[in-house]
Amino acid sequence: MFYFAIDILGTMAFAISGVLVAMEKKLDLFGVLIIAFVTAVGGGTLRDMLIGNTPVVWMRESVYIFTILGTVVFAIMFVKQLKYLRKTLFLFDTIGIGLFTMVGIEKGLSAELMPIMCIILGTITASFGGVIRDILCNEIPVIFHKEIYATACILGGISYFLLIQLPFDGAYAYITAIIIIIVIRLLAVKFKIALPSIYRAGK
């Protein structure tokens, strides 16, 4: 139940971020719904296909579809109250990657994968919904920018596997790793921390 709740919260966070991007692009209602949907389930769909968990989870459990539909309606109704759209989008996107990284890691553990594979799976779960969203909205995906994005997922995943080696309750380790991912991403943007670029002017 705990892990299911985290999955639903992540779905809602990413659906809202999809709605905000779609509305900034002035898409129609159908476009908003599609962008919200692929943002919310895109990474999880790829994850499930990679580990052979088919039909993918949103096809087996209708609660995900209804959650996305309800979230889209909510976000559209209260979009005027969501001031400073860019900051709001960033916040929900950041919460989403924290939650979905750990959902992906948990799925990897359930499939009895090695820790490094679980971390990769968590990063895919967290990142690829946003990648699909940005591509459909004609934007360069955030994951390909210099910003700390996938790196935050990886560091959070590593922290989780370190924490569970300690006399630390599993649920607390799970929540702590989510917080670590969110904090890393927030601090990286606030203080403009980025990975080094390999681009050199004139070459």
Read off the pLDDT of residues 140-167 as tens digits, 9 standing for 90 and up. 888 887 668 899 999 999 999 999 999 8
Confidence (pLDDT) at 29: 94
Flag whether the pTM goes above 0.95.
no
Q: Which two tokens stand for residue 3?
A: 């892990």
Confidence (pLDDT) at 90: 86
pLDDT in tens, 52-95: 999 999 999 999 999 999 999 999 888 777 656 567 778 889 99
pLDDT higher than threshold 60 for residue 203:
no
Residue environment code for 41-77, b if the CB has 16+ CB neighbours within 10 A, otherwise e: bbbbbbbbebbeeeebbbeeeeebeebbeebbeebbe
Residue environment code for 4-25, b if the CB has 16+ CB neighbours within 10 A, otherwise e: eebbbbbbbbbbbbbbbbbbee
Confidence (pLDDT) at 65: 96
Angle between helix axes 85-110 and 2-24 (nearest 10 degrees) is 140
